Amino acid sequence: MANQSSPSPLYCVSFNQDNSGFAISSKDSFKIFDSTTGRLCYERAAGAFVIVEMLYSSDLLAIVGAGEQASLSPRRLCLFKTTTGSPLREMNFLTSILAVRMNKKRLVVVLLEKTFVYDLNTLVMLDTIDTVPNPKGLAAFSPSPEGCYLAVPASATKGSVLVYNVMDLQSHSEIDAHRSPLAAIALSSNGMYIATASEQGTLIRVHLVSEATKSYSFRRGTYPSTIYSLSFGPSTQLPDILIATSSSGSVHAFSLRLAINQRSKRSSSFLGSVLPDSVSDALDPAHHHVLQNAVSSGIRSYAVIRKIDKHEGTSSPSQFTSLRATVSVITYNGYFQEYTLSINNKNESLWTLEREFNLFSITAR
């Protein structure tokens, strides 16, 4: 379990588009780290920032101040070059910026009731999306040019999601995922799947983006809990694993591909054909692998799956043998943890802590 003590809490945590690097910000600086080695790649002591977004491993950052200094307004977006240590462009907005998302072609800026889409290369505004009030700045983004979608809340009273095609500049669909408002949204990197959690935090639902009405449900737990983060594993098709962190301090991994494949086989049986959708969309709890007390209860955390190594059967490509996932967890009290999650062909799992360190203690070499 990560130690509670920390010199300073984190203002923001973000991984880049392929999870090869991550950024953190504290009250007096922001830092960029290499996810694989833990090496501190860049540090700038320039005050507090609430948003530090990377563009893969390039020298371009999108940063937004916390407003604790007059020069660091939360209404100003700065596109910053780490190689020169200077702003490339600054963009001012009427209200506070709540989220920023990027890929190599698009820049998305999320405000309370509006979301702006820009061409990243020219910074020409391409579209303005009017949204319901989004005070949490919830925004999921799939960076793949072939499936580049943005997902934001579509209702302030229930868990509906607006899915918007960022390349075609048009609304793709609206998904009614939960009865209560959303707490977390994630898109797979290829834009094929979307995961959602409501403020209740007991169910996590996965939809196929192209078929907005088709859903699968995972039960995180019986009692309500705040879902802090959702993240799919890397994949060109159906991700193998979905990971979640919550206010309970646990890390939850769901064997998505295996569970859906097994459910598809059952649905073709007689029993599967007579079960109502409300029953049959619930996936087997055996595919839920929990790491208890990874973080102290109530400490906010963010987890991603950086890498997956798997062995499949020789007789059929879909035959599951074993899987090893590298899971990185960052806590907002300043700790980095890396686990290996191993799942064998009997669906038995083992979590192994590979390394843990205090992010404030790392200095540039």
Q: pLDDT per residue over 147-161, tens digit each? A: 999 999 999 999 999
Angle at 231 between CA 230 and CA 235, to 5 degrees: 155
Mean pLDDT of 46-73: 95
360 φ, ψ to 5°? Answer: -75, -15
User: What residue type is assigned to position 146 of the chain?
Assistant: E
pLDDT at residue 324 is higher than 70: yes
Cα–Cα distance for residue pair 134/322, rounded to 1 Å: 40
Report the chain's mean pLDDT, rounded to a whole number: 90
Across 91-100, 193-202, 249-258, 267-276, least confident range? 267-276
| 337 vs 223, residue with greater confidence | 337
Topology annotation, domain 8-94 = Thrombin, subunit H (2.40.10)
Q: What is the distance of C-alpha 226 from the center of its chain?
A: 15
Q: Which of 160, 289, 271 lies closest to 215, judged by CA? A: 160
Instruction: Quickly state the pLDDT bin for 259 (edges 50, 70, 90).
Output: confident
Q: pLDDT per residue over 37-51, tens digit each? A: 999 999 999 999 999
Q: pLDDT per residue over 279-322, tens digit each? A: 345 666 778 999 999 999 999 999 999 999 987 765 555 555 78
pTM to 2 decimal places: 0.91
Q: Hunting for tokens 């922001």 — which residue is that?
A: 30
> How far is the CA of 57 from the CAs of 33, 39, 149, 159, 169, in angstroms?
10, 13, 21, 34, 26
Domain 98-224 has CATH 2.30.30.100: no
Hey, where are the domains in the chain? 8-94, 98-224, 235-264+287-364
- SS3 per-residue string spanning 127-156: EEEECCCCCCCCCEECCCHHHCEEEEECCC
